[in-house]
Amino acid sequence: MIKNGYIDDIHGWNFIGGKDGKNVDVDNLESTRLYRKLKPKYEGKTVADFKTKEEKADLELYEQVKKETTTAKSNNEPSYNQVKLIKEKLIKMESDIKSQQTVSEIKLENIEKYTPEDKTDKQIKAICTISMKQGKVTFNEFKDQIDDAYDHYYNMLEKNLNPDFDPRSIVGDNYDDPYEKNYGNADCKGPHSLHGTHVAGIIAASRNNGIGMDGVASDVKIMSVRCVPDGDERDKDVANAIIYAVNNGATILNMSFGKKYSWNKKVVDDAVKYAESKGVLLMHAAGNDAVDIDKEIHFPTPKFEGKGTATNMITIGALSWKPDSMIAAPFTNYGKKTVDLFAPGVDIYSTLPENEYKDLSGTSMATPVSAGVAAVLKSYYPALTPEQMKKILIKSSLKTYKGKMVIKPGSKKGDKDRYVKFETLGKNAGLINLYEAIKLADKMNNFKG
């Protein structure tokens, strides 16, 4: 990019990095940040202590985020302690086996020959043996799985849910100024780029080259803009990411992120409105909590604070590859009023860093499928506005499951409302379809011509 205020942004920009090249890897959940912000004023107080509606609303919010943070911490601690124990015992078991059996690489037969010293060691041996047999993984692969689980729970407890942890000083911005620009660095890869690389591959991986997989769209360019850590994204960074992408030529933004709370919705709304004014389409993931986002808001939302709704945002839910009643991904958020379309989002094979590939699942995968379809439309019909593309994608979507009973995400066997009509999960009951979208766009284009 040329003279835009961002230095060396050859591939894009990183809004969660510092000028010294350091990057935020893990951050809090937004609920934790709100807990930290509100605690000094509202801890130990009741409604009677405040007069204004705003203060009473903030007290209610504080009590809610405090409860969520402390409950989540309590719920995750047993799993963390269990995984920590397994990790420690595996290290000991590996050392014992290598010395006792004089081997450099541990295989299943080495595990089976191993004699545990105590009851806990015996349990770890059993867990390892079962995992290697049933999961068909090597010892090192099993260790990697445990390491990943340990990192997940450690980050959750010590960073995501820890109000005493705040990495924002790494960025070095004035966080109290939501409209500040030109902070960050050019390292848009960041510490971990698995998620973004997988998403980018779904949209734009080279087609018909016999390598890995094919992206949905041909001849498209990817602009990498980093604003989401392991944890919840910050509204200031999301707003700046949208504005940066718009100003530097992006016409479709894939937004595979979201959260339950918003720190400053207005700053994001302003950025969405700016994208709308510049003719930029926003594709947003519905989220993976298996909840009704008509009732439990998933930010950012197309509905603005105050009045108005964005015409340039499409919210995407996830489909599984399973047939009939199992078509809705079991994790996908849904909403009769809020989810616009559904796209494949389970076991999606795509690119990873360092020339690798993997199946991943989530509305994060369904959204780039949809963004890729939108990119094809825009490639052939560049004059289409976001509003027109949204209309085309919705109208051309397949209504295959309309009227059919499907398993509601998040429901359990025995629930009275386990089976619902598919159209109750989204406002249009539509499955995105590139072929039908192109046909409709062509028809509209010829009609106008």
In a shared domain, residues 292 and 186: yes
Strand (E) positions, 137-263? 224-226, 252-255
State the CATH number of the domain containing residue 377: 3.40.50.200
Same domain flag for 217 and 286: yes
120 and 239 share a domain? no
> Sign of torsion, CA 393 395 398 401?
positive
Q: Is 43 within the bounds of a domain?
A: yes
CA distance 443 to 172: 51
Do 122 and 235 have their domain in common? Answer: no
Q: Residue 166 domain-assigned? A: no
Is residue 413 domain-resident? yes
Domain annotation covers residue 23? no
Residues 135 and 201 reside in one and the same domain:
no
16 lies in a domain? no
Sign, CA dihedral 348-268-165-76, equals negative
* Residue 345: inside a domain: yes
Number of domains in the chain: 2
Residue 360 and residue 285 share a domain:
yes
Q: Which residues of 322-360 are buried (b: 16+ CB within 10 A; e: fewer)?
A: eeeeebbbbbbbbbbebbbbbbbbbebebbbeeeeeeeb
Looking at the DSSP bridge assignments, the partners of residue 356 are 352
Residues 306 and 431 in one domain: yes
Reported pTM: 0.94
Is the distance from CB of 267 to CB of 179 less than 8 angstroms? yes
Q: Is 192 helix (H, G, I), strand (E, B) or coil?
A: coil
- Among residues 99, 126, 160, the one where a domain terminates is 160
Beta bridge pairs of residue 97: none
Mapping DSSP to helix (H, G, I), strand (E, B) and coil, where does residue 54 land?
helix
Q: Are 81 and 190 in the same domain?
A: no
Distance CA 395, CA 154 (A): 45
Residue 5 falls inside a structural domain: no
Of 160, 195, 213, the residue that ends a domain is 160
Which H, E and C letters describe 71-95, residue by residue? Answer: HHHHHHHHHHHHHHHHHHHHHHHHH
End residue of a domain, out of 160, 183, 198: 160
Residue 409 burial (10 A CB sphere; 0-12, 13-18, 19+): buried
Residue 200 and residue 324 share a domain: yes
Say if residue 393 is in the same domain as residue 301: yes
Residue 420, helix vs strand vs coil:
strand
Give whole-number Cα distances, 104 to 70, 92, 99, 101, 141, in Å.
Answer: 44, 15, 9, 9, 15
Cis preceding linkage at 229, omega within 30: no
Whole domain around residue 47: which residue ranges?
Answer: 29-160
**Three-class DSSP category at 63:** helix
Does 21 map to a domain? Answer: no
Q: What tens-digit pLDDT sequence spans the chain (449 residues)?
A: 568 889 999 999 999 999 999 999 999 999 999 999 999 999 999 999 999 999 999 999 999 999 999 999 999 999 999 999 999 999 999 999 999 999 999 999 999 999 998 999 999 999 999 999 998 899 999 999 999 999 999 999 999 999 999 999 999 999 999 999 999 999 999 998 999 999 999 999 999 999 999 999 998 999 999 999 999 999 999 999 999 999 999 999 999 999 999 999 999 999 999 999 999 999 999 999 999 999 999 999 999 998 999 999 999 999 999 989 999 999 999 999 999 999 999 999 999 999 999 999 999 999 999 999 999 999 999 999 999 999 999 999 999 999 999 999 999 999 999 999 999 999 998 999 999 999 999 988 775 54
Is the separation of the CB atoms in 397 and 336 below 8 Å?
no
Does one domain contain both 198 and 267? yes
